[in-house]
């Protein structure tokens, strides 16, 4: 009797209706999108980096302030090249005196033209060295490459600046754009003028917009991406340097039959008929993160099990939650 009881309990358990959740298909817009991540940047801006490895001796402390093109932003320790320039100027003074003396001697026919040529050559050589040293000294001064606002300033007086390290970002705070990297398999579907929907961690739950403004002609063969610039409206709350999720809307179908994407496994889903689960093959269209378009194989009045029940067998007895 005990064995029969256990067997009966097992049969009851196996035939016990499984509790499931269902939804009815809905009507709405199905949007085909291209996903990318991007960074908010000014449309017009430039980086300021040192060309030399040298200690910082002066900084403008002008972050957030407007500057004119050519304004001094920082100075590097230039004592050594200035000492060299001073030596060259002393040498120039001596060479200039020698040249003047050689001119006078030639005019008095006391010296030869060859002596004058040597004096002239020495003077020209020193003048060229001075010009080169003065140009080199300019490398010790970091200037604003354009008129605008100092968007960011890094580094401290006393630190050693490395070549290529960005110390200043100078540009216009508005207008802003997004620089996004789109996978090469998606780029053929992206065109200038397409609308994009943005999500940013700084503004949870807020949907922001942008438009595709330009696409770089040459992609990155290593990362296999293409750079896409998206224009932001002037009223955007996004700030320079923020990261965003970019959903470029490629195609929209209105009044599409939609089911939650989680209800599908490939082209299959489950519907409920008289408390029986039926596995159904459907034809899908645009597939999004939340909803997927159903082209055929499903009626609008049918009830779909969500999420897709992996262990559920076709023909299994089910019970809807709340019933």
pLDDT tens figures, 272-305: 999 999 999 999 998 887 899 999 999 999 999 9
Model pLDDT, residue 71 = 95
Owner of token pair 């599409």: 256
Query: Which burial class, exposed, middle or buried, applies to 147 when counting CB atoms under 10 A from its CB (0-12, 13-18, 19+)?
Result: middle
Residues 6+ apart with CB under 8 A from 205: none
- What pLDDT was estimated at residue 3? 46
* pLDDT 10s digits, 157-173: 999 999 989 999 999 99
Same domain flag for 119 and 176: no
What pLDDT shows up at residue 322? 63
**CA-wise closest residue to 73 among 145, 142, 163, 155:** 142
Residues 164 and 177 in one domain: no
Task: Write down the pLDDT at residue 323.
Answer: 57
Q: Is the pLDDT of residue 127 over 60?
A: yes
Q: 97 falls in which pLDDT band (50, 70, 90)?
A: confident
pLDDT, position 205:
84
Token duo for residue 137: 């000294």
13 has pLDDT over 50: no
Domain limits for position 260: 18-30+254-320
Is 5 part of a structural domain of the chain? no
310 shares a domain with 299: yes
**CA 300/CA 322 separation, integer angstroms:** 22
Say how many CA atoms lie within 13 Å of 57 toward its Cβ. Answer: 9
In a domain, 155, yes or no: yes
- Residues 149 and 170: their CA atoms lie apart, in Å, by 6
């Amino acid at each position: 009797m005990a064995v029969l009881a256990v067997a009966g309990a097992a049969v009851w358990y196996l035939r016990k209706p499984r509790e499931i959740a269902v939804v009815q298909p809905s009507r709405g817009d199905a949007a085909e999108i291209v996903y990318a991540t991007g960074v908010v940047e000014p449309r017009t801006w430039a980086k300021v980096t040192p060309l030399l490895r040298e200690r910082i001796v002066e900084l403008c402390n002008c972050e957030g302030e407007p500057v004119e093109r050519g304004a001094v932003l920082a100075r590097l320790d230039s004592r050594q090249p200035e000492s060299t320039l001073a030596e060259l100027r002393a040498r120039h003074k001596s060479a200039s005196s020698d040249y003047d003396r050689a001119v006078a001697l030639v005019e008095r026919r006391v010296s030869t033209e060859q002596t004058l040529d040597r004096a002239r050559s020495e003077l020209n050589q020193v003048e060229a060295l001075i010009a080169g040293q003065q140009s080199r000294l300019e490398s010790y001064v970091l200037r604003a490459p354009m008129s605008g606002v100092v968007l960011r300033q890094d580094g401290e007086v006393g630190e050693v600046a490395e070549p290529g390290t960005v110390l200043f970002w100078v540009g216009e705070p508005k207008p802003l754009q997004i620089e996004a990297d789109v996978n090469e398999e998606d780029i053929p579907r992206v065109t200038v003028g397409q609308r994009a929907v943005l999500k940013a961690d700084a503004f949870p739950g807020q949907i922001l917009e942008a438009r595709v403004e330009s696409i770089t002609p040459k992609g990155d063969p290593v990362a296999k991406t293409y750079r896409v610039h998206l224009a932001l409206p002037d009223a955007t709350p996004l700030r320079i340097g923020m990261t965003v999720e970019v959903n470029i809307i490629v195609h929209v179908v209105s009044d599409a039959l939609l089911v939650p994407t989680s209800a599908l496994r490939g082209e299959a889903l489950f519907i409920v008929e008289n408390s029986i689960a039926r596995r159904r093959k459907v034809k899908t269209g645009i597939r999004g993160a939340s909803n997927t378009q159903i082209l055929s194989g499903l009626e609008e009045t049918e009830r779909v099990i969500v999420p897709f029940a992996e262990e559920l067998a076709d023909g299994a007895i089910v019970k809807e939650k709340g019933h």
